[in-house]
Amino acid sequence: MSLSMLLPGALALAALIALPILAHIARQRPRERVPFGAMLLLRRVVKRLRRRRRVKDPLLLLLRIAFLMLLVFAATGLRFSYDGGAPEFGGTGKVVVLFDRSMSMSMMHGGSTVLSRTRGEARELIDSLPPGTQVGLIAFDDEATALTSGLVTDHAQVRSRIGVIEPSLGGSNLRAALIEARRMLEGEPGEILLFSDEAGPRMVSEASDELRRVIDQGSAVLSKRPEAVPRNVAVTAARYGDGIEGGTVELLVSNFGDQPIEVPCEVRLPDGQVVPIFADLPPEGESLERVTVPRQAEGGVGEAWCDDPDLPADDARYFHLPQVGASRVLVVDGDPGETPIRSEVYFVERALAPWGAGRSGVTPDVVTPLGLLDLDPQTHQVVFLANVGDPRPFAAKLAEFVQKGGSLVISAGSNVSAERYNSALSGLLPAPLRRAEDLAGRGEPGVALLTPDPSLELFEPFARSGRTAFSEVASRRVVLLEPYSEGSQARTLLRYEGGIPALVEREVGKGRVMLWTSTFDYDWSNLPTQAVFMPMIQRIVAYLGGQSSGAGARFEADVGRPVAIELPDLAIDPQVFGPDSQPVPSRIEGTKLIFTPSRPGAYELRVDASPPLAWVAANLDPTESDVRVYETVMEAEARIAPERFLRHVDLSPWLLGGALLLALMIALLALRGRAT
């Protein structure tokens, strides 16, 4: 509240108050008294008059002074200013409605969401507009979208489009909405009606500059904030780290309400294991909870979840979990070669960890044959013997490894001797080896693989797509096998044209053995250059119990924001699959794959039907979970242009009226004085 004057110079008229004071001084009797004849007889009358003047004269003096002061202040144009709230609505004939559909508008209040209640209020306001008023409608979350082509006079159209606005999982980008509103008004003044909860620490502050431009344009933003008690519990952070047992998942649970609350929470691991806990939360505070992971757990993307009926959209947060327990693959290089690319296992290593050992959860251990001495069933689940010349020193260790549940993959090559393998690994081989034989001459493409049977468990992921890629694989030389019967002892999974076995499997004890009758490098086959190579290798590892699925590279992403992933050197581009296992639109720009997660959860990068090459944990922006109001739009406008939020009362008419009333009182007192 404040007082202001339009004409401060008029205060100089206040000097006129000296006139009644002088008049009253001039009427005072002299101090020296001289007795004079008959006047002494009037002493009693004088005393009575003196008593009357003592009562009337001071009041009359004050009234005359007050009369003059009222006239002076009336002449200055004195005004009284006070905070009058939002500017008046109406008058310009142009109205732009901004409708907030961010995640916080999904908060429940009184049995319905804030957004549904706001929709009703917005429709009522549209109905109250005079015919002919031009109206535009903009909905916003992370981005602003115009729902009308511009300012229209068809209020029924605007009303119907308000009715279909649904909440999203995005944030509150008020700045983008104000930019779109200014564009719709085409630089002319108008009223911008904002229907929003105005929640979050950044919503209004980030829009301050644009709000100033709107005000400078001559427009006003009128906020229609719904009445709702801010209340929400959200998991704002979750991560896996080392610890006892299989490690620890830490989750940060935040309470954005003003009351303490206890909520049930769960940590859901990728393999379906669930660990329940309870979180006690102080008012507008947070709690750090820790959950111990079992010794054995599948890798992938886990979920930390807390039950909150007020705003269910942000109850979960997703985190990466590496394989806990035996997950590594031991790759034994029987022919290291002079350069990495000439190494027998170069392509196998790249297929298992295309992003490199530093980012992939498979992390194959590549060793020479002597490395088999360090074979640890607690660490390794699958062993690749790639063109190893003499397995006899390690035969007993390998047999024990497979009997107890490990798996062995054997590939042929120039170092493989049928005699040594048959004598050392007869209890593991699906069938005795006979000899190596050329299927095609040097320079010829070789004999192609037949399309696999999709009913076999190993090739089930290739049932919908990818099976035809197997026919592009051709081998020039293979190891032939002695005749064998199909059954529990041996099962042929892949064949070349003509029926020659390519991939044969055998169950031994609790484990399995697979034999690839050609090589995993260029020597005998074109397999490493084919698109199916990497998915086949990863699928074999996953099928044999190793951790290929859930062990890919790990990336973080925010819902609604593009994520760019630098791709490794792959023969075929991967595809993105969402939390519902459906393909997600993506594009390749240079060496990067770019896509935008539309919902929180686990996203996979896969080639054909292979296990995931990479996992992306997509989460909501935790600031949108904060449903508290930090600064309203009205407060920001009052800070930017305070004069718009002041109401002024002109006191001049009231002062003149008061002066006239005092003049009447003065006249009456004067007449009464004369009468007495």
Give the pLDDT confidence of 286-341 residue by residue, as tens digits.
999 999 988 778 888 999 999 998 999 999 999 998 877 656 789 999 888 766 66
Q: Which two tokens stand for residue 339?
A: 């350069």
Please tell me the CATH code under which domain 233-315 is placed: 2.60.40
By CB neighbour count within 10 A (0-12 exposed, 13-18 middle, 19+ buried), where does 63 fall? Answer: middle
- Residues 6+ positions from 116 with CB-CB distance below 8 Å: none
Q: What angle do CA 496, 498, 504 make, to 5 degrees?
A: 40
Reduce the DSSP state of residue 46 to 3 states and report it. Answer: helix
CB 618 within 8 A of CB 605: no
Q: What are 34-70's pLDDT values in tens digits?
A: 565 555 555 555 555 555 444 446 777 777 777 777 7
Q: In 10 A of CB 205, how many CB atoms?
A: 14
Same fold: 328-543 with 553-623: no
Under-50 pLDDT residues of the chain: 52-56, 358-361, 548-550
Amino acid (1-letter code) at residue 595: F
Q: What pLDDT is stored for residue 551 in this prediction?
A: 55
- Residues 6+ positions from 418 with CB-CB distance below 8 Å: 432, 433, 434, 435, 479
> Measured on CA atoms in the order 425, 427, 429, 432, is the torsion positive or negative?
positive
Structure letter (DSSP) for residue 537: H
pTM comes to: 0.66
CA 369 centroid distance within chain: 49
Q: What pLDDT is stored for residue 239 in this prediction?
A: 93
Q: For domain 94-229+633-647, which CATH number applies: 2.140.10.10, 3.40.50.410, 3.10.560.10, 2.170.150.20?
A: 3.40.50.410
CA separation for the pair 266, 306 (Å, rounded): 6
CATH topology of domain 553-623: Immunoglobulin-like (2.60.40)
Q: For domain 328-543, which CATH number applies: 3.40.50.880, 3.20.20.70, 3.30.1360.230, 3.30.460.80?
A: 3.40.50.880
What is the phi/psi pair of residue 303, to 5°?
-130, 130
Q: What pLDDT is stored for residue 121 in this prediction?
A: 92
DSSP 3-state percent helix, strand, coil across the chain (nearest 5): 30, 30, 40
Q: What pLDDT is stored for residue 358 in this prediction?
A: 46
Q: What pLDDT is stored for residue 550 in this prediction?
A: 47
Reduce the DSSP state of residue 448 to 3 states and report it. Answer: strand
CA separation for the pair 439, 474 (Å, rounded): 10
Q: What pLDDT is stored for residue 610 in this prediction?
A: 67
CA separation for the pair 188, 559 (Å, rounded): 36
Domain boundaries, the chain: 2-30+38-78+651-675, 94-229+633-647, 233-315, 328-543, 553-623
Antiparallel, parallel or unpaired: β 286-292 and 248-255:
antiparallel
CA separation for the pair 432, 331 (Å, rounded): 23
For residue 483, CA distances in Å to 430, 501, 503, 645 come to 11, 10, 14, 95
Residues in the chain: 676
CA separation for the pair 108, 117 (Å, rounded): 10
CA separation for the pair 168, 496 (Å, rounded): 53
